[in-house]
Amino acid sequence: MVLTVFFRLYPAYADTARPSIDINLIIDGSAGFTGVKEEVSSWIISRLDQLLLDGDKVTVWSTGTSAKVVYTGKINGNNDRDAVKKSIRDISGSGATADFSGALRDAASRTGSGLCYTLLISASPSALSSLLSGPQAGLLRYSRVEEFSKWRALVVGLNLDEKVKRAAAGFYGS
């Protein structure tokens, strides 16, 4: 939630430098994605145009039967931005499952101590259900869901447990 507010307010303060961030894009690679691919791709790319700055690190996963990284790199200009966008447009859907758990687990292990923005796109209700009932459900503890007609976007706050505990302890004076 805090990251969402930060990124929505950031354009108003664009002349103020912000630290580089890690951006994780986890995109449904199941057959359910096929029918919404153009809408989802356009939506993500428009958000990236508002968000990406040189120095940001981006990792894109396609989650089919297993999660696989389709792009990873540091943004150092328009060529890198175009490569991220191409990796998103090139994702195709097939199969009945989307390995969100594997991608979230991998993203959490890559997250450093700085700012991290993780966006999970689900076009498969069954894949999202298996994530919510599986062992990785705790990774969604700090997340926000935006519903669309045939898909969902989840902004996931990865590795926030310690930060939340420290903030609460500081607030309560413990």
Domain residue limits, the chain: 21-172
Is 18 exposed, middle or buried (CB count within 10 Å of its CB: 0-12, 13-18, 19+)? middle
Tell me what pLDDT residue 59 has.
Answer: 96
H runs (alpha helix) in 10-99: 37-51, 78-89
Residue 156 near residue 140 (C-beta atoms within 8 A): yes
What's the CATH fold of domain 21-172?
Rossmann fold (3.40.50)
What are 80-137's pLDDT values in tens digits? 999 999 999 999 988 888 888 889 889 988 876 678 889 999 997 777 766 776 666 6
**Mean pLDDT (whole number) for 33-54:** 94
Does the reported pTM lie above 0.95? no
Helix (H) or strand (E) holding 166: helix 161-172
Tell me what pLDDT residue 170 has.
Answer: 66
